[in-house]
């Protein structure tokens, strides 16, 4: 099928809704002679008519519904942002718990006490009262890991609306 160089011009005229008002005598005679352009005008004008009819019949939602949807979308976006922050905090907490657990396991597996493992880990830091915590170091570390691991769950239940 051959195409005509005036098809784009005709398509623009039909899309603009100016068919057949803007169609001059020369263009009208060309459409009568060119089968490709005549078919293009017939199909494009039918599609443009359907488009205009569907645009006139399209239901417009009430303003209250549009406002409600906008508020709902804003709330969902705020919830996603908060969830990202909580997920990050939870991941950091779990990573810290794993590091603490590895330090505890590593200190017991080498035959050293937890206090000696912590002293080697925190060598540049000076703790004058570390010796007094030696009997309580494992329960304190376990309590710390438990609190850090359960904090995101507590925050979730504290801020859940439903």
* pTM of this structure: 0.35
Q: How many CB atoms lie within 10 A of CB 94?
A: 14
- Mean pLDDT for the chain overall: 78
Using the predicted structure, report yes or no on whether residue 79 has a pLDDT greater than 80: yes
* 107 has a pLDDT exceeding 80: no
pLDDT-based confidence at residue 160 (cuts at 50, 70, 90)? confident
Give the mean pLDDT of 2-28. 73
127-136 mean pLDDT: 56
> Which residues are within 8 A (CB) of 31 and not within 5 positions of it... i.e. 6 or more apart?
10, 23, 37, 38, 41
Local structure of residue 125 (DSSP, 8 states): S
- pLDDT classification of 144: cutoffs 50, 70, 90: confident
pLDDT in tens, 53-64: 888 888 888 999
Residue-level pLDDT at 132: 56
Which of these, 144, 69, 54, lies nearest to 104 by C-alpha position? Answer: 144
Q: What percent of the chain has pLDDT over 90?
A: 12
Please determine, for residue 129, whether its predicted confidence score (pLDDT) is greater than 60: no
72 pLDDT band (50/70/90 cuts)?
very high
Q: What Å distances lie between residue 113 and 125, 134, 145, 147, CA to CA?
A: 18, 9, 19, 23
Domain map (residue ranges) of the chain:
7-57, 63-159
ω into residue 91 within 30 of 0, thus cis?
A: no
């Amino acid at each position: 099928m051959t195409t005509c160089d005036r098809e784009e011009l005709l398509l623009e005229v039909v899309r603009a809704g100016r068919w057949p008002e803007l169609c001059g005598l020369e263009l009208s005679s060309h459409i009568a002679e060119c089968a490709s352009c005549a078919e293009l005008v017939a199909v494009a004008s039918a599609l443009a008519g359907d488009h205009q009819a569907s645009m006139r019949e399209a239901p417009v939602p009430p303003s209250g519904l549009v406002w409600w949807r906008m508020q709902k979308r804003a709330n969902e976006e705020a919830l996603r942002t908060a969830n990202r922050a909580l997920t990050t905090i939870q991941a950091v907490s779990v990573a810290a718990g794993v590091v603490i657990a590895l330090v505890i396991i590593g200190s017991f597996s080498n035959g050293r006490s937890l206090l000696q493992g912590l002293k080697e880990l925190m060598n540049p830091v000076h703790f004058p009262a570390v010796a007094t915590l030696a009997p309580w170091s494992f329960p304190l570390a376990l309590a710390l890991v438990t609190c850090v691991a359960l904090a995101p769950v507590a925050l979730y239940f504290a801020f859940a609306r439903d």
